[in-house]
């Protein structure tokens, strides 16, 4: 129970109680938390105090509010090793998560302008964009740029629900020799954000990736915009021991 004589604020005490109940499994992922009215009556406190406690749990990522439904224990995020050179499709596959991909634009030759981070800036490249969905929910928006001379005929291929890294390996017999990646938090224009089911005020993880192949440096460039509310995007790092 709560201790009004404690120097610890009541809302903090309640947040600790609820946190322990979540950790112990009293409330499991996906379970609804008792309403503010119910907890106010149960603990003999006001609803604003309960609301403060729930706000604390939301900030900790333990619960989430669903408008019109209540407050729920947040489902554990699935770790996805998105940043290996094996490609995004393979990353989800290795985590045993079924996905579907939807190409927003078919492959076409595009002139790249005013894009200083893009190695094809001022040149032309095969371009395609696709959306990855898990259970019909969008989680990943990707834009790809390919060196046309290294990937002839790419614009004639059916790439729906195919791993692009597998296409590169199986059709062109190429494997990247080195890759470079950068990470930052971004806010998307409204049109792009809506594709991911977000608003322009929702942050996303933006990843830029450049791949080089034997005899062809920076031959593939991609940008990935990742929702992080359902998955934890991780990176596995190999360490050599001596």
Which pLDDT tens digit goes with each residue over 19-53? Answer: 999 988 899 988 999 999 999 999 999 999 999 99
Report the alpha-carbon distance of residue 120 to residue 16 in Å, rounded. Answer: 52
Note the pLDDT of residue 186: 92
Residues 43 and 94 in one domain: no
- For residue 223, tell me if it sits in a domain: yes
In this prediction the pTM is 0.61
- For residue 177, tell me if it sits in a domain: yes
Residues 123 and 158 in one domain: yes
Q: Out of 73, 89, 105, pick the residue that ends a domain.
A: 73
Residues 65 and 82 in one domain: no
- For residue 2, tell me if it sits in a domain: no
pLDDT digits (tens, 9 = 90+) for 105-125: 889 999 999 999 999 999 999
CATH number assigned to the domain comprising residue 63: 1.10.10.10
The pLDDT of residue 190 is above 70:
yes
Residues 82 and 69 in one domain: no
- For residue 207, tell me if it sits in a domain: yes
- For residue 4, tell me if it sits in a domain: no
150 and 174 Cβ atoms separated by less than 8 Å: yes
- For residue 22, tell me if it sits in a domain: yes
The pLDDT of residue 86 is above 90:
no
Residues 84 and 193 in one domain: yes
Range of the domain at 47: 10-73
Residues 148 and 38 in one domain: no
Q: Out of 73, 102, 117, pick the residue that ends a domain.
A: 73
Residues 128 and 163 in one domain: yes
Average pLDDT of the chain is 84
Q: Out of 49, 73, 97, pick the residue that ends a domain.
A: 73
CATH number assigned to the domain comprising residue 199: 3.40.1410.10
How many domains does the chain contain in total?
2
Residues 121 and 25 in one domain: no
Residues 86 and 154 in one domain: yes
Residues 63 and 101 in one domain: no
The pLDDT of residue 59 is above 50:
yes
The pLDDT of residue 103 is above 70:
yes
Residues 220 and 109 in one domain: yes
Residues 184 and 132 in one domain: yes
- For residue 216, tell me if it sits in a domain: yes
- For residue 127, tell me if it sits in a domain: yes
Decide which of 71 and 88 is more confident. Answer: 71
């Amino acid at each position: 129970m709560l201790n009004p004589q404690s120097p610890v604020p009541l809302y903090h005490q309640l947040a600790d109680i609820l946190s322990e109940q979540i950790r112990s499994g009293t409330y499991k992922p996906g379970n609804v938390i008792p309403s503010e009215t119910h907890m106010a009556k149960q603990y003999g406190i006001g609803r604003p105090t309960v609301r403060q406690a729930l706000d604390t749990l939301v900030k900790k990522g333990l619960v989430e509010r669903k408008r019109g439904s209540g407050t729920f224990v947040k489902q554990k995020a699935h770790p996805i090793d998105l940043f290996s050179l094996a490609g995004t499709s393979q990353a989800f596959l290795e985590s045993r998560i079924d996905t579907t991909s939807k190409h927003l634009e078919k492959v076409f030759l595009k002139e790249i302008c005013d894009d200083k981070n893009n190695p094809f800036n001022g040149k032309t490249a095969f371009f395609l964009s696709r959306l990855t969905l898990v259970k019909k929910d969008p989680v990943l928006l990707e834009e790809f740029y390919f060196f046309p001379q290294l990937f002839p005929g790419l614009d004639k291929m059916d790439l729906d629900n195919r791993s692009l890294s597998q296409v590169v390996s199986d059709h062109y017999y190429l494997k990247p020799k080195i890759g470079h990646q950068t990470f930052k938090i971004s806010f998307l224009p409204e049109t792009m954000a809506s594709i991911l089911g977000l608003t322009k005020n929702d942050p996303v993880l933006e990843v830029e990736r450049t791949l080089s192949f034997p005899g062809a440096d920076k031959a593939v460039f991609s940008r990935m915009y990742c929702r992080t509310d359902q998955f934890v995007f991780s990176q596995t790092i190999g360490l050599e021991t001596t």
